[in-house]
Structure 1
Amino acid sequence: MKRLLQRDVWVFDLDNTLYPAHTAVMSQVEARMTEFVMQLMELEREEAFKIQHGLWHDYGTTLNGLMVNHKIKAEDFLEFVHDIDHSVLEPNPVLADHIAALDGARIIYTNGSVRHAENVLARLGLDHLFEGIFDIAAADFTPKPQRESFDRFIKRHAVNPARAVMFEDSARNLETAAGIGFATVLVRARENIGNGHTAGPGEHPEFVDYAVDCLDTFLGEVVEGFKETPA
């Protein structure tokens, strides 16, 4: 815990990090992505799903792959895939209290859109707690885990990685963060959800400082650590 108590910039991924991975948010987004590919390429769902996941694997996001190979407008894609039911999310006052107790800058860093992030944060009751949202457009549509995306984030928010902590459900995103100097916290799903990027139970790569199964509980321990540390 000492490694975190020396930091004062708190960087949070959004989806499957600030809420449990089994919540039906990203499953809706994934389905909308498949639907977009189906319409764009006039394919059946199964084939569109394979292409979508291939693009994600090769380009970091489905969007990036579609922009490179099919010259789509990013805004059209983001509006389509984030047109989902956010009411599946419940307010989390415990998490809100813990995040509010973190001294320093608190920033959202997501491969999604600002609009989607705002909708998620509002449903969770966290929308008043962050000084900024760095989304895929701010990254010039270069997604995590690419180093260029991190460089743009660091420049935009004047972040010193040696003073920052990154919370993520994706180990491959944290590998880049760790290489730059961020302290890293992997937020694992409590069961394997099979999406190819959210960490499953027991996963703890060597470049990850802390791997946790409940963000609420872990942040509570961090906050208590600050209380016990002499000023």
Structure 2
Amino acid sequence: MDLSRISTWIFDLDNTLYPPSANLFGQIDVRMGDYISRLLACDRAEAYRVQKAFFHEHGTTLRGLMDHHDVSPNEFLSYVHDVDMDVLEQDVRVIEGIAALPGRKLVFTNGDAPYAGKVLDRLGLAHAFESIFDIHATDYIPKPDPRAYQGLCDAYGIDPTTALFVEDMARNLRPAKAIGMTTVWVNNGSERGDHEACASYIDIEINDVGAWLAGLNRELS
């Protein structure tokens, strides 16, 4: 595709700016299970079932816990994101590729900004983005709810027809495409990444962000 018109580059964070093989979410899953097990006084198997059911039904486990159990988002996020970042490795292709993109660059995540900042710092991307639009900024309405995408555009004055969104979960691209964004699906094997995948709302499919950025910048230069 001709992407010369793109002036705003929007990236998901987890399993997009780093590969799912890092298994950072494996640590987060364990801490979510611990939190839910204590909250509901249940065993780990039931906690896991609740965690995944809320994730699939509400977009995030947090949203389900807020709706059904009045959980404090700050308390929950602080606990589950207390993980070892040493599993993340810098990819010079991603660092240089994002730096070379013309225009604005943003992170759009269902996580929170303090956690995202730690991830970006570990990846060598601490200063690569203008801002992080996180779950607090969406008023805890997660992707793929269309209101989160409209909130992003409103907050930063983004014309979606000149914006591109890169995301590992295919279903999160549907609302972006609906408002006119160019969509890039990172089909890299992340958990339920291919759920509801459909060519009607995926413009570009890749499996390696670093390789894609390197080729893209050669085309744009």
Q: Does 1:216 align with 2:216?
A: no
Deviations 1:186-214 (A, max 9, x none): 0111xx45x32x239xx663310111010
1:83-129 per-position Cα deviation (integer Å, ceiling 9, x unaligned): 00001111222211110000100000000010111011001101111
Report the identity percentage. 37
2:176 maps to what in 1?
Answer: 177
Give TM-score scaled by structure 1 length.
0.92
Aligned partner letter, 1:181: G
Q: Secondary structure at the match of 1:17?
A: coil
Counterparts of 2:29 and 2:200 in 1: how far apart (Å)? 29
Residue 194 (structure 2) aligned to one of 183, 199, 204: 199
2:93–2:211 Cα contact (<8 Å) kept:
no
Summarize the alignment of residues 92-131 of structure 1 with structure 2, pairs less than 5 Å apart.
Answer: 92-131=91-130
For structure 1, the 5+ residue unaligned runs are none
Write the letter of the residue equivalent to 1:32.
Answer: R
The SS at the match of 1:166 is strand
Question: Distance between the aligned counterparts of 1:199 and 1:214, measured in 2?
Answer: 15
> 2:164 maps to what in 1?
165
RMSD: 1.3
Q: Which amino acid aligns with 1:211?
A: E
Alignment-derived partner of residue 32 in structure 2: 33
Normalised by the length of structure 2, the TM-score is 0.96
Contact 1:5-1:225 within 8 A present in 2 as well: no
Q: Shift in Å at residue 31 of structure 1?
A: 1.6
Letter in 2 for 1:107: L
For the pair 1:12 / 2:11, whether they are aligned, the reply is yes
Corresponding residue pairs, total: 220
AA aligned to 1:140 is D
CA distance in 2, matches of 1:76, 1:180: 33
Partner in structure 2 of residue 140 of structure 1: 139
Distance in 1 (CA, whole Å) between partners of 2:56 and 2:136 is 20
Letter in 2 for 1:169: D
Q: Does the Cα contact within 8 Å between 1:108 and 1:130 map onto a contact in 2?
A: yes
